[in-house]
Amino acid sequence: MSSDVMAIQTAGASGKPWVETLHEWVTTVDHKRLGVLYILFALIFLVIGGIEATIMRIQLMRPHNDFVSPQVFNRMFTMHGTTMIFFVAMPILFGFANYLVPLMIGARDMAFPRLNAFSFWLTALGGFLLYFSFVGGSGLYGAGNAPDIGWWAYAPLTSRAFHLDIVLTTGLSRCSSPASAASGPPSTSLPQSSVCGARA
């Protein structure tokens, strides 16, 4: 008797349209499904971060390699580090925590299920926005420009002087003629030769 009931339930579940299944997963507040979504999200970004690491490894395979430009290498380095920390390591921990902690403490679900689901979709939106910067990162100034300031975003390396793309698209350069340099941004404590040599 119980095997017949199980067979009927299995047949009913397999006959469900995929749109309905997708809707259930997108709108879910179940901690197990959200844990699975976090882990799948982390695995997708693990592949993306692995592709970025492969590009960096190919560039460093031999001296004077021209596989990618220095600017693209800096972007790959920054995006790889950001991806691996914020979109792989943290979501995979959140995924296992979402799935296992309520089971371990005997709770029916997380304390705030809707807030839990909202946090996952905010994480997914953050990953989409970060990678959208490849196409639309420069906004009104022109083509896309992914972050290229390294893993830690230390203050001197985030200034305008170290960003060739900003200099090219806005015309703010301290290495051009004296007249244009006078109309540009105020000088920093860095000597002009070191800044211009870094961009040359």
pLDDT digits (tens, 9 = 90+) for 169-178: 444 444 444 4
Closest CA to 185 of 200, 199, 170: 170
Query: pLDDT higher for 63 or 192?
Result: 63
- Is residue 29 predicted with pLDDT exceeding 50? yes
Does one domain contain both 122 and 161? no
User: Three-state DSSP class for 186?
Assistant: coil
User: Does any domain span residue 77?
Assistant: yes
**166 and 124, same domain (yes or no):** no
Residue 174: both structure tokens together:
């301290």
pTM of the model: 0.70
Sequence-ordered alpha helix ranges (H) in 60-189? 70-84, 90-105, 113-136, 164-170, 178-183
Which stretch of 49-53, 58-62, 181-185 has the lowest confidence by average pLDDT? 181-185
> What average pLDDT does range 64-80 have in this prediction?
89
pLDDT digits (tens, 9 = 90+) for 117-142: 999 999 999 999 999 888 775 554 45
Q: Which long-range contacts (CB under 8 A, 24 or more apart) does 193-199 make?
A: 195/161, 195/162, 198/161, 198/162, 199/164, 199/167, 199/175
Could you tell me if residue 148 is inside a domain? no
Three-class secondary structure of residue 93 per DSSP? helix
89 and 170 share one domain:
no
Residue 109 and residue 81 in one domain: yes
Task: Identify the domain containing residue 67 by its residue range.
Answer: 2-141
- The verdict on 38 and 136 lying in the same domain is yes
Residues 148-170 as b or e (16 or more Cβ within 10 Å = b): bbeeeeeeeeeeebbbbbbbebe
Question: Is residue 55 domain-shared with residue 113, that is, in the same domain?
Answer: yes
Confidence of residue 159 (pLDDT cuts 50, 70, 90): confident
